[in-house]
């Protein structure tokens, strides 16, 4: 068990790392961030910011020697770097879980091999794979890069062999998955914390709505059938157990119009759709991340209030600093800004959590704020 006053490390200095750092500070820990960006949001507030590449072994050893435990805030940290860190300190979650989550081919194959459903897909490495996939899958389809894709990036819709070949070329002939586009009714996510001894605590299911491939809003509790929600929680729990996971895990699901529940992606860290937990749950997902890496039991995930989480993208900075009084004048609206230096279209700059007695009231408050900010 790692207790307060110890030093914790995080690879990645984005907004998730920043919120992790704030949670760690509130619990009495020190934080060291490793991120090559000198202006990273987490690095700006950490006790120490190691400005180095994630593959820099000297920097990794410096981090490992300084810290009792290390985690990561995004999947694209090389798994080999996490393996290297395991020589010096506790690494949670472990490198193998990260390796699976950062590659769609490995991820979807692992999910299916453990008896859990995904959309039908074929791994694409070369033209022969494309031909075989077009023959076996039912259009419409989506070509997705196996790695480095997020917020809708690295994806192209296809329907024919010619379109699939063109998409593969446009995506750099890198390994891809070609998968069937599902008849989607809802997208939901389950976020859980699993301790080093296998104790699991699960947050309420969140319903996610995307705009242009980027998460726009998360509604909690989700407006789905309770039985479907229970099934999603069971699937996420089974997945965490199969990985012998330690940390915060997010599992994204497609809910089809035919009543199927398909795992879309997993994230081995806190998740954008879990930002609501900071204001609406007894324990935030970021405190859970601290707890799990320190060998503590999971905190209570009880929902304290219905909530709508809305992302704030750089688009609303087009005319200068937004008029934040429209948020702050609402008594149950909570503004979270990430301290990013430059706003640009599509960049996540912050989020708002709107609490209320029920989802309808929270949606109404959110709508007022969105209209005032032109979100």
Give Cα separations from 301 to 249, 274, 281 (angstroms): 14, 11, 6
For residue 94, pLDDT beyond 70? yes
User: Do 192 and 240 form a contact (C-beta atoms < 8 A)?
Assistant: yes
**Nearest CA to 245 among 286, 204, 208, 191?**
191
For residue 375, pLDDT beyond 90? no
Instruction: Tell which wins on pLDDT, 56 or 153.
Output: 56
**φ, ψ for residue 361, nearest 5 deg:** -65, -40
In sign, the C-alpha dihedral spanning 78, 79, 81, 85 is positive
β partners of residue 254 = 187, 262
pLDDT recorded at residue 7: 98
pLDDT recorded at residue 151: 64
Give Cα separations from 216 to 31, 66, 103, 143, 299 (angstroms): 30, 38, 24, 23, 27
Confidence of residue 174 (pLDDT cuts 50, 70, 90): very high
pLDDT recorded at residue 150: 67
Domain boundaries, the chain: 7-91, 120-180, 184-373
Report d(CA 333, CA 354) in Å as an integer. 4
What fold, for 7-91? Rossmann fold (3.40.50)
CATH class for the region spanning 184-373: alpha beta
Average pLDDT over residues 82-107: 95
Kindly report the average pLDDT of the chain as a whole number. 96
Give Cα separations from 181 to 29, 33, 139 (angstroms): 45, 38, 7
- How far out from the chain centre does Cα 79 lie? 17
| Least confident among 143-157, 204-218, 279-293 | 143-157
Report d(CA 303, CA 240) in Å as an integer. 22
β partners of residue 163 = none
For residue 229, pLDDT beyond 70? yes
Report d(CA 11, CA 74) in Å as an integer. 8
The CATH code of the domain at 120-180 is 3.30.1490.20
| Structure confidence by residue, pLDDT tens digits, 305-345 | 999 999 999 999 988 899 999 999 999 999 999 999 889 99
For residue 36, pLDDT beyond 90? yes
User: Do 86 and 99 form a contact (C-beta atoms < 8 A)?
Assistant: no
Average pLDDT over residues 47-60: 97
pLDDT recorded at residue 75: 85
For residue 153, pLDDT beyond 80? no
Average pLDDT over residues 232-242: 98
Report d(CA 33, CA 43) in Å as an integer. 6
Confidence of residue 148 (pLDDT cuts 50, 70, 90): confident
User: Do 28 and 90 form a contact (C-beta atoms < 8 A)?
Assistant: no
Six token digits for residue 146: 């196996």
Average pLDDT over residues 139-155: 86
pTM for this model (two decimals)? 0.95
Can you give the three-state secondary structure of the chain, one letter per residue? CCCCCCEEEEECCCHHHHHHHHHHHHCCCEEEEECCCCCCCCCCCCCEEECCCCCCHHHHHHHHHHCCEEEECCCCCCHHHHHHHCCCCEECCCHHHHHHHCCHHHHHHHHHHCCCCCCCEEEECCHHHHHHHHHHCCCCEEEEECCCCCCCCCEEEECCHHHHHHHHHHCCCCCEEEEECCCEEEEEEEEEEECCCCCEEECCCEEEEEECCEEEEEEECCCCCHHHHHHHHHHHHHHHHHCCCCEEEEEEEEEECCCCEEEEEEECCCCHHHCCHHHHECCCHHHHHHHHHCCCCCCCCCECCCEEEEEEEHHHHCCCCCCCHHHHCCCCEEEEECCCCCCCCCCEEEEEEEECCCHHHHHHHHHHHHHHHCC
Confidence of residue 139 (pLDDT cuts 50, 70, 90): very high
């Amino acid at each position: 068990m790692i207790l307060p006053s110890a030093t914790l490390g995080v690879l990645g200095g984005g907004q998730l790392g920043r919120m992790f750092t704030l949670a760690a500070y509130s619990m009495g820990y020190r934080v060291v961030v490793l991120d090559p960006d000198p202006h990273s949001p987490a690095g700006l507030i950490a006790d120490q910011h190691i400005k180095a590449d994630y593959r820099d072994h000297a920097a990794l050893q410096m981090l490992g020697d300084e810290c009792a435990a290390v985690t990561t805030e995004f999947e694209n940290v090389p798994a080999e770097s996490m393996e290297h860190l395991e020589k010096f300190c506790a690494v949670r979650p472990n490198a193998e879980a990260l390796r699976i989550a950062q590659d769609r081919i490995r991820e979807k194959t692992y999910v299916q091999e453990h008896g859990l459903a995904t959309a039908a897909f074929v791994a694409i490495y070369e033209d022969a794979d494309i031909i075989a996939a077009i023959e076996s899958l039912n259009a419409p389809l989506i070509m997705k890069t196996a790695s480095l894709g997020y917020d809708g990036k690295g994806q192209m819709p296809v329907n024919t062999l010619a379109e699939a070949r063109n998409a593969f070329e446009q995506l750099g002939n890198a390994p891809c998955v070609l998968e069937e586009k599902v008849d989607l009714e809802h997208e939901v996510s389950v976020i859980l914390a699993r301790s080093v001894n296998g104790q699991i605590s699960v947050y309420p299911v969140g319903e996610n709505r995307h705009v242009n491939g980027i998460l726009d809003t998360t509604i909690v509790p989700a407006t789905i059938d309770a039985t479907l929600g229970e099934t999603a929680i069971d699937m996420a729990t089974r997945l965490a157990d199969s990985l012998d996971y330690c940390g915060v895990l997010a599992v994204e699901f497609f809910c089809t119009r035919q009543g199927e529940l398909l795992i879309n992606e997993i994230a081995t860290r806190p998740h954008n759709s879990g930002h609501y937990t900071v204001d609406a749950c007894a324990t935030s997902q970021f405190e859970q991340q601290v707890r799990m890496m320190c060998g503590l039991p999971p905190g209570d995930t009880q929902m304290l209030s219905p909530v709508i989480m809305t992302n704030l993208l750089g688009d609303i900075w087009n005319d200068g600093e937004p008029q934040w009084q429209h948020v702050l004048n609402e008594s149950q609206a909570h503004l979270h800004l990430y301290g990013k230096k430059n706003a640009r279209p599509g960049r996540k700059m912050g989020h708002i959590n709107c609490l209320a007695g029920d989802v309808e009231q929270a949606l109404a408050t959110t709508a007022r704020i969105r209209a005032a900010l032109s979100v």
